[in-house]
Amino acid sequence: MENNKFEKPIYVTRPLLPPISDVTGKLEEIWASQWLTNNGAQHQSLEKEIQSFLKVPNTCLFNNGTIGLIVAIQSLRLSGEVITTPFTFPATPHVLTWNGITPIFCDIDEQTMNIDAGKIESMITPRTTAILAVHVFGVPCDVAAIETVARRYGLKVIYDAAHAFGTEINGRGIGTFGDISMFSFHATKLFHTVEGGCLTFNDSDLKQRIDLLKNFGIKNEDEVVMPGINGKMNEVQAGIGRSVLTMVPDEMKKRRHLRDIYNVMLGSVSGIRLQKEISGVKDSYQYYVIRIVADEFGMTRDEVYERLQPFNVFTRKYFYPLASDYTCYRQIPSSARDNLPVASQVVQETLSLPFYGGLSEEDVRKISSLIIGLQGR
């Protein structure tokens, strides 16, 4: 195995970068306009292009996804408690806390690693106002079951779709489900604007309120109508995003091919579980994540993570730890591990492997062979 060391470090992802000439072209347009922020031409164009790509009726761009999610909660006037998943990035529960809301953690489905829709109802109390679910690694939640529960109890539904750019269910854009969805455009994402994000929603009446909330509540030169925040995407971000967006279809095609190679090489290895693929779903190809079942593989996830590093392969224990294990949330009764048996197990097993279009077939085969070579050692 010593001969399989990569010359340069191979990380989980690498940002999709357009030709520098495309970027300078966009900068020239911005410089000529002398309009750097506040809903300029690049912003307006990107918003329309994103709306078309995601197949959604309404879009609002943001300087980052977290601010977008904070504004989403404000726009729906949520309070009290919101049911969410512990298996997620810190931003998901944090945006609730920043809005004075208590996150209530629900266990996850073992196959998809999304919130277990069948357990949501048991978590509902008189203080519950919404469900904040996450399309983990771009795989859709059980949106139909979540909608049924939400309607029964009059709850709002927000989706953290940070990983789900381009995901579709039977041809329908993932951003059309629920009341609001948030997409992250961070540099690590399939599509990015260096930093950025957006909200998508079906109710056109929300558009004005969200736009006001992300711009200090300023209605015009003479009126400030609500306490807002500064969540605006600037022209440079938007211009770069427009160039990146043209590259996304080809990047997705490359990632699909690399995933097929990973699946062939790792799919039948004892102790390795692949993430479930759902019929009718078009994937976002955001991450390639496996689970290492220690008793079968002969080595823990953490040991695999550590032993790959000398070969210059840097994976990620994603997500780890559970949000419910953060010091700031441990006191919440729903954070008890007895309440989260599946999440508590899965969080010890998931490993995100290098996955981006710039990898070669040989790279993916070498990484897979390294993992197989560790089995039982």
* pLDDT above 80 for 8: yes
- Contacts of 115 by beta carbon, 8 Å cutoff, 6+ apart: 83, 84, 85, 106, 107, 108, 109, 131, 133, 134, 141, 146
- Contacts of 34 by beta carbon, 8 Å cutoff, 6+ apart: none
> What's the pLDDT band for 63 if we cut at 50, 70, 90?
very high
The pLDDT value given to residue 375 = 87
Candidate from 210-219, 253-262, 270-279, 337-346 with smallest mean pLDDT: 270-279
The pLDDT > 90 percentage for the chain reads 97
- Contacts of 114 by beta carbon, 8 Å cutoff, 6+ apart: 85, 108, 133, 134, 135, 136, 139, 140, 141, 142
Please, what is the end-to-end C-alpha distance for the chain in angstroms? 12
CATH classification for the domain delimited by 247-374, as one of 3.40.50.300, 3.90.1150.10, 3.40.50.720, 3.40.50.2300: 3.90.1150.10
The pLDDT value given to residue 289 = 98
The verdict on pTM exceeding 0.95 is yes
Q: What is the pLDDT of residues 74-105, one digit of tens each?
A: 999 999 999 999 999 999 999 999 999 999 99
> What's the pLDDT band for 275 if we cut at 50, 70, 90?
confident
Average pLDDT, the chain: 97
Q: Which amino acid is at 209?
A: R
Averaged over 24-28, what is the pLDDT? 97
* pLDDT above 80 for 202: yes
Check if 20-245 and 247-374 are the same fold.
no
Distances in Å between the Cα of 332 and the Cα atoms of 23, 86, 345 are 47, 12, 20
The C-alpha atoms of residue 197 and residue 182 are separated, in whole angstroms, by 7
Would you say 183 and 162 are in contact if contact means Cβ atoms under 8 Å apart?
yes
Closest-CA residue to 184 (of 75, 85, 67): 67
The pLDDT value given to residue 217 = 97
The C-alpha atoms of residue 193 and residue 191 are separated, in whole angstroms, by 7
* pLDDT above 80 for 363: yes
The C-alpha atoms of residue 34 and residue 284 are separated, in whole angstroms, by 35
Would you say 10 and 354 are in contact if contact means Cβ atoms under 8 Å apart?
yes
The four Cα atoms 122, 69, 193, 195 give a dihedral, to 10 degrees, of -110
Averaged over 269-274, what is the pLDDT? 96
Its CATH architecture, for the domain 20-245, is 3-Layer(aba) Sandwich (3.40)
The pLDDT > 70 percentage for the chain reads 99
* pLDDT above 70 for 1: no
> What's the pLDDT band for 2 if we cut at 50, 70, 90?
low
Q: What is the pLDDT of residues 337-354, one digit of tens each?
A: 999 999 999 999 999 999
According to DSSP, the residues that pair with 71 across neighbouring strands are none
Would you say 191 and 244 are in contact if contact means Cβ atoms under 8 Å apart?
yes
Q: Which amino acid is at 280?
A: G
The C-alpha atoms of residue 251 and residue 105 are separated, in whole angstroms, by 35
- The structural domains of the chain, with segments of one domain joined by +, span 20-245, 247-374
Residue 135 CA from chain centroid, whole number = 7
> What's the pLDDT band for 229 if we cut at 50, 70, 90?
very high
Q: What is the pLDDT of residues 122-164, one digit of tens each?
A: 999 999 999 999 999 999 999 999 999 999 999 999 999 999 9
Q: Phi/psi zone of residue 76: left (φ > 0), alpha (ψ -120 to 50 degrees), beta? A: alpha
Closest-CA residue to 377 (of 268, 272, 289, 300): 300
Q: Show the tokens assigned to 193.
A: 């604007």
The C-alpha atoms of residue 288 and residue 285 are separated, in whole angstroms, by 7
> What's the pLDDT band for 175 if we cut at 50, 70, 90?
very high
Taking only Cα atoms into account, the Rg of the chain, rounded to an integer number of angstroms, comes to 21
Would you say 210 and 75 are in contact if contact means Cβ atoms under 8 Å apart?
yes
The C-alpha atoms of residue 29 and residue 130 are separated, in whole angstroms, by 42
